Amino acid sequence: MKNKISPHELSADERINNFKEVVSGYSRQEAIEEARRCLQCNDPKCIGGCPVGIDIKKFISQVVKGDFKGAFYTIKEKNNFPSICGRVCPAEYQCRKACLFTKKGSGCAAENSINIHFLERFVADYGIKHNLQLPLKANPKLTNYRVAVVGSGPAGLCIAGELARVGMKVTIFEGLHQSGGVLRYGIPSFRLPRNILNYEIDYLKNIGVEIVNNIVIGRTKTLDELKKEFSAIFLGLGAGIPSFLGIKGENLANVYSANEFLTRVNLMEADKFPDYQTPVNIGKNIIVVGGGNTAIDSARVALRMQAINGIEPDVSILYRRTEQEMPARRLEVIHAKEEGVNFRFLTQPVEFISDNKGFTKEVESVKCELGKPDLSGRKRPIAKKGTNFRIKADLAIIAVGLRANKLLTSLTPSLKVDKWGDIIVDKSMQASLPGVYAGGDIVGGEGTIIEAMGMAKKAAASIIINISNN
């Protein structure tokens, strides 16, 4: 079997001084060579590993033949934003994990599994370069109906495109001054360039989607008011409330949530201060707590901010388990290591230590050992008594997950939620209120973009069926 073809990357020394995209993608020939490695299985498990069901076998076959246009249309039949997903989807835990080259039962894709995500990205970028788009299929029975979408993250953008293509009038309401939700404020531009995100959003506007920014549904406008104006409502609020550790000293100055830190840089251009009036403190010894993609993104952003500001990079990730249990993408972990991020595994913070001005200066931690698996299926970290030690930390970033934003649900008691504050939906993604649907992190999703899109597509189909039947 031929070796896999890896796309080109900026060197670590070059990329830590800027926010340029790290991975440059395949050339035409490289894409064809990688696609040729695919065995074209009779029963392609990779399709089942994709949350939106892309016909992976078919589009790879088209790439082999050089039919990039056909491959683009094959992907777009299922995936609204392949240029985004091809860059940020955790493919090693989804389609690539299901590849025949990965042994059954493996927790992650094998090294030699087909680079489906990079092939998808190549095809998507080809589509952008040649201005390809699926033709609209307006249904005369639907053109007089209006749908409100709350939130412009991946779920909101996806359902807006699904409904607009069949002729519905869609309005997206976004609380921030720019659209994209977590795609914009949560993911650094070195992983998802802003021109790619802007292209996809502009496409939605071109097919008639209206986007209203700076409006918070629940405050600026209530859900009841929306129900009077629109035939259906989709709630793609995301889960924007950060979780914290609950330890002493967590309220000290220079202890950030990852949400705030990344928003200041990714959305509000803190890396260009003072040209942009968004300050963010940058320490000499930075620690990031967590093991997911957000933790990795925070560490890599922090390291770049140090380098840009002339500070010798010193960023460490503290994680209670081992590298094997980290939910972060393997590629991003590799990139973080290449760039100089330190990893301290089996390490759990127990207290932030203050200087005489109320700023964090150290974090006291304990060593952990792994016990029996917990509800997540991963081995539970157990703190070892008597192993306390301190790490210098004049800036800390907490990246241990997000919780549901209850602003809207607390003001709409008729909208049922579970004990975590997530909106309860049925199999059709409909909430407890008639005509109200929800999807993505606000219904307790796993936090992946492609999963949120899968929910949005299911909700779109339900809305179309229900309206058509009325």
The pLDDT confidence band at residue 316, using thresholds 50, 70 and 90, is very high
Using one digit for the tens of pLDDT, what is the confidence trace for 415-440?
999 999 999 999 999 999 999 999 99
Residues 303 and 448 occupy one common structural domain: no
Average pLDDT over residues 155-162: 97
Residue 22 lies in a domain: yes
Residues 106 and 154 occupy one common structural domain: no
* Side-chain-facing half-sphere of 303: CA atoms under 13 Å: 27
Tell me if residue 195 falls in helix, strand or coil.
helix
Q: What is the CATH number of the domain that holds 269?
A: 3.50.50.60
Residue 51 lies in a domain: yes
What pLDDT is recorded for position 1? Answer: 53
The pLDDT confidence band at residue 371, using thresholds 50, 70 and 90, is very high
Instruction: State the total domains in the chain.
Output: 3
The pLDDT confidence band at residue 377, using thresholds 50, 70 and 90, is confident
Domain limits for position 259: 243-402
The pLDDT confidence band at residue 4, using thresholds 50, 70 and 90, is confident
User: Both ends of the chain: CA-CA distance in Å?
Assistant: 55
In one-letter notation, the amino acid at residue 186 is: G
Q: Which structure tokens are listed for 92?
A: 């090693």
Using one digit for the tens of pLDDT, what is the confidence trace for 165-219?
999 999 999 999 999 999 999 999 999 999 999 999 999 999 999 999 999 999 9
Residue 303 lies in a domain: yes
Residues 230 and 252 occupy one common structural domain: no
Which among 28, 192, 56 is positioned nearest to 114, based on CA atoms? Answer: 56
Rg over CA atoms, the chain: 23
Residues 270 and 357 occupy one common structural domain: yes
- Do 90 and 50 contact (CB within 8 A), yes or no? no
Residues 354 and 461 occupy one common structural domain: no
Helix axes 56-64 and 116-129, enclosed angle (nearest 10): 70
Residues 225 and 125 occupy one common structural domain: no
Average pLDDT, the chain: 94
Q: Tell me how crowded residue 247 is: count the other CB atoms within 10 A of its CB.
A: 15
- Per cent of the chain over pLDDT 70 is 100
Alpha helices in 18-65 (DSSP H): 28-36, 45-48, 56-64
Residues 298 and 256 occupy one common structural domain: yes
Give the residue from 402, 418, 444 where a domain finishes.
402
What's the whole-model pTM score? Answer: 0.94
Residue 141 lies in a domain: no
Q: Max alpha carbon distance in the chain (Å)?
A: 71
- Choose the most confident range, by mean pLDDT, from 2-16, 103-117, 130-144, 203-217: 203-217
Using one digit for the tens of pLDDT, what is the confidence trace for 216-255?
999 999 999 999 999 999 999 988 899 999 999 999 999 9
Which among 461, 394, 389, 450 is positioned nearest to 427, based on CA atoms? Answer: 461
Residue 193 lies in a domain: yes
Residues 119 and 168 occupy one common structural domain: no
Residues 317 and 364 occupy one common structural domain: yes
Residues 434 and 385 occupy one common structural domain: no
Query: Residue 464 pLDDT > 90, yes or no?
Result: yes
Residue 324 lies in a domain: yes
Give the residue from 368, 402, 436 where a domain finishes.
402
Give the residue from 129, 157, 183 where a domain finishes.
129
Residues 89 and 58 occupy one common structural domain: yes
Using one digit for the tens of pLDDT, what is the confidence trace for 378-412?
899 999 999 999 999 999 999 999 988 888 999 89
Residues 372 and 421 occupy one common structural domain: no
Q: Which structure tokens are listed for 145?
A: 């109906």
7 by Cβ neighbours in 10 Å (0-12 / 13-18 / 19+) ranks as middle
What pLDDT is recorded for position 446? Answer: 74
Residue 183 lies in a domain: yes
Q: What is the CATH number of the domain that holds 40?
A: 1.10.1060.10
Residue 2 lies in a domain: no
Place of tokens 């309206």: 467
